[in-house]
Structure 1
Amino acid sequence: MNKIIRMLAAVTAGLVLAAPGALATPAAAQAAPGAGAATRLELPRPTGDFAVGRDTLHLVDRDRKDPWVPDRDRELLLSLYYPALAHTGTPAPYMTVPEAKAFLTDRGTLGEHVTPERLAATRTHSRTAALPRPSAQRYPLVVLSPGFTMPRSSLTTLAEDLASRGYVVAAVDHAYESDGTTFPGGRLLTCTACEQVFPDQSLHRVSDGRARDVPFVLDRLTGPHPAWRYSRIIDERRIGMAGHSIGGAAASATMAADPRVDAGVNMDGTFFTPVPQQGLGGRPFLMLAGDPALLPPDFPDTSWEDTWPRLDGWKRWLTITGAGHPAFTDWPVLGDQVGYDHPETPLSGTRSQQITRGYVGAFFDLQLRGIPAPRLEGPTAADPEVVFHRR
């Protein structure tokens, strides 16, 4: 499987390129024996002004069978991040120990640097069961879709930052598409999809399926009978979506399928589901990619060039010098803390996340809230790694 995942990381680089309270949040994992407080891993602090709450929501689509396990209904597991009242709730866990074991098993030598228990015990900056922050206006919603084989927790740093800036964020685990996700009842669902799409390279099935998952999520979060206890704080008129790797392809595929999504971001993902010839109805789209110099010289993907003329609204194509495919996730940040020199990402984890959070946040501020975003207008000395490939 490690070989397959490394192959997927290359294929998907895309350069030059749960009723409320129904699912109990797992208790925070304990650090490995002998690991003191000084060695506990920690995500970067959010940059916004608000404290961050987090809920877990399990959704089941009774009208749709799972594309990978057809005898089951389609299931999704969401982490919902939101602006919260400070000092309410309890610290939210990063992931379960079984999830961490599944992740490390599929990540080669990373497992030599950190135990599953230590990874699971990573300190986050969100709080379970925190009270929502009162506001005269409702908050825009941003949906996050992770890379194939990656759990939703891989985008925690970005999710917490957006929530601290005044967004509700729904990070989605799509059943049977990660190395391992703990669903209700203690069920660890592994990557059954991998066994089906890798042999024949039918990866478009993943982004196509997520373009059906997300509209269902929007129905359950913003519809007349919402599944989340705090759905009232969501402004259903302002919705964005961002994804990493194949989750980025799912963002544009979802926009093509659902006009409710007003703006989208693809973070380093091949467009396995092509953007329609007629475009996305004039809606804005940001393509944020890693360093083309880190790809093999004969890298075959042309989907970004093919997609660019089809984007018919505000658009940007940015690349980040020194950033490899994992740079848009939490893993380089955590890898730096355990002494893991990720060969695909020479740019530090701290800097990778500063850029990712800064540009994705600026994009949604501009497109969903009307806040000017000068850093999206052209190169800046403050971010020398960011190259405006096309504007």
Structure 2
Amino acid sequence: MRILEILLTLSSFVLLFHFKMPKKVALAIGLLNIGLLTGHFFLEGYRWQMFFVYLISSILTIYIIFRMRLRIKVGKPLAYILFFLMFMMLILSTFASLYIPVFDLPKPDGQHTVGTKTFHLVDQDRDEVLTKDPHDKRELMIQVWYPADHTNLQKPKPLFPEDKQIFKKYIQTYASGWHLPEFVFDYWRYINSNSYENAEILSSKKSYPLVLISHGYGTGRMMHTAQAENLASHGFIVVAIDHTYSTTATVFPDGRITGLTTDLDGTPEKSTKLGGIWTKDTEFVISQIKKMNNTVFNGKIDLNHIGIMGHSFGGATAFNASYANPEIKAGINMDGSLYNLDKKHAISKPFLFIESDDFITIKNKVDKNSFSDKEIKDSGLTKKEFMMMIKTRKKEFHIIDQASLIHIDGTGHYNFTDFQLFSKILKQMGMTGEIDHKRSAFIVNQYVLDFFNKHLKGVGGDLISRPNPDYPEVKFPNQ
């Protein structure tokens, strides 16, 4: 909770006991409440999680100010009922404010300030196969983070679109995709990044290695902002791609917003088709960054040292792109299964798999072939289909076993994205693991940084090579 929210909530709880206070003290707290409420609305901004605090605070303050003039009297039974209801409403509002917070992204721990720019790209050589219009070309939005200079007292960029109309359409897309009321996402307007928009790139004798980020199916580039900012603060240039029609929402400069319209049902054919589109997205983005290097980025991008990382389906894309593209020197897959394995063998360049608890559980079952008849039935597949799936997973695990593999104990699938920071409720929903979300975000950032430092800069590499007592959660299953 934000500072004025905390003070307003506390004063509202205190006001519940106004009947035990001298009238002047209760009046003073009521007037203080007015000041806190006004300050909160103008300085911090309202949010729906605080609704009952606003309601109870206003009712109690009005009652205390006007009770003598209006000579309002309430019988004891009714007073006790009202007291209990208001107390529970304040508890509910406090719970909602704590568990669905206005949060800050983790501060980058590198020495550099971080700048960011956003670009709209159109691949004129590639038809858009994910729409019905035969004239569509593949369009992408990308965001770039980099070491910055001369921020000129700017405020950090908001995480989500700043324009009110575009933001409204943006959260409408999220609300529609998640089948929730629009107001649920309204508080996102208060979440800031740690980046400064359009700041100058920091001059340096050495150019900065390039790292691409590919998001998971149905999320988007914004869910990897903290990871990108941390790398940029340590002297990398980071490019995150919105894979159009596979994000929950992508905003284009003309105000258009596309949603999640691709169909990924887990079949190998659809995974391979969509994965091919995403892999071509990475190739196209690299080609465009090359063109921007000597103009927008003053020649500061080291195009001889390119890495890629991704989460879930984006992690699989990172592997696919690393496997196919010789320009990519190293890559990371965060908790993503692989696709298009028919002609693939062990990857011949540095590649790291960072996995969750669920991955390890499934891998152990596949290795031991220990699936019960009930598990096969519950999968919704026939026994033949299930065994074909297990055969594919065994090939996938064989490839993974020949690369570098670490497991972060206590993690779930979304502990590898910024989404874990949005609410503690995600843990109860099984979307994140038991590990503290700030701790897991920190660990992922440290190991990602160490990997790219070693393979793109030629320094570091201690964390990814062996267990470290400072990170007991990190296991090396293949050692």
In the superposition, the TM-score normalised over structure 1's length comes to 0.81
In 1: Cα distance, 2:205 partner to 2:294 partner:
23
Q: Contact conserved, 1:102 with 1:180, CA < 8 A, in 2? A: yes
For 1:257 and 1:153, the matched residues in 2 are separated by 26
In 2, Cα distance between equivalents of 1:303 and 1:364:
29
Cα distance per residue 1:12-58 (max 9 Å; x no partner): xxxxxxxxxxxxxxxxxx95457899963211101111100000011
Other structure's SS at 2:286 match: helix
In the alignment, residue 139 of structure 2 is paired with which amino acid?
E
Partner of residue 103, structure 1: 174
- Matches of residues 188-199 of structure 1 in structure 2 within 5 Å? 188-194=257-263, 197-198=264-265
Q: Report the equivalent of 1:219.
A: 287
Are the counterparts in 2 of residues 79 and 170 from structure 1 also a CA contact under 8 Å? yes
Aligned to 1:316: 404
Structure 2: 5+ residue stretches without partners: 1-43, 51-96, 162-166, 366-374, 380-388
1:1-391 aligned at under 5 Å gives the runs 31-33=45-47, 40-69=102-131, 71=134, 72-85=136-149, 87-88=151-152, 89-96=154-161, 97=167, 98-107=169-178, 115-194=184-263, 197-198=264-265, 202-223=270-291, 229-230=296-297, 232-274=299-341, 276-280=343-347, 282-292=348-358, 298=375, 305-307=394-396, 309-310=398-399, 315-336=403-424, 341-345=428-432, 346-391=434-479
C-alpha change, 1:351 and 1:182, in structure 2 (3 Å) is same
Query: How far apart are residue 305 of structure 1 and its match?
Result: 4.7
In 2, the alpha carbon distance for the partners of 1:45 and 1:301 equals 41
Q: Is the 8 A contact 2:410 2:473 kept in 1?
A: yes
SS in 2 for 1:331: helix
Distance 2:198 2:113 in 1: 12
1:207 partner letter: G
**Structure 1 pair 116–255 and aligned structure 2 pair: CA distance change class (3 A):** same
Shift of 1:308: 5.3
In structure 1, stretches of 5+ residues that fail to align are 1-29
Greater Rg by CA? 2
CA distance in 2, matches of 1:86, 1:146: 30
Is the Cα–Cα contact under 8 Å of residues 253 and 274 in structure 1 kept in the other structure? no
Greater relative contact order (Cα < 8 A, sep 6+): 1
* TM-score (ref. length: structure 2): 0.67
Shift in alpha-carbon separation, 1:35–1:229, aligned structure 2, 3 A: farther
Higher helix share: 2
Whether contact under 8 Å (1:139, 1:166) holds in the other structure is: yes
Q: Shift of residue 179 of structure 1?
A: 1.3
How many residues are treated as equivalent by the alignment? 354
Whole-angstrom distance in 1 between the partners of 2:462 and 2:125: 45
Provide the C-alpha distance between the structure 1 equivalents of 2:439 and 2:414, rounded to a whole number of angstroms: 13
Residue 379 of structure 1: how far off its partner (Å): 1.6
Give the C-alpha shift of residue 352 in structure 1. Answer: 1.4
- Identical columns (%): 28
Aligned partners of 2:316, 2:339: CA distance in 1, in Å? 6
CA contact (8 A) 2:151 2:200 kept: no
Q: Which letter does structure 2 place at the counterpart of 1:248?
A: G
What is the CA–CA distance in structure 1 between the aligned matches of 2:322 and 2:444, rounded to whole Å? 21
2:431 match: secondary structure: coil
Contact 1:249 1:273 in 2 (8 A): no
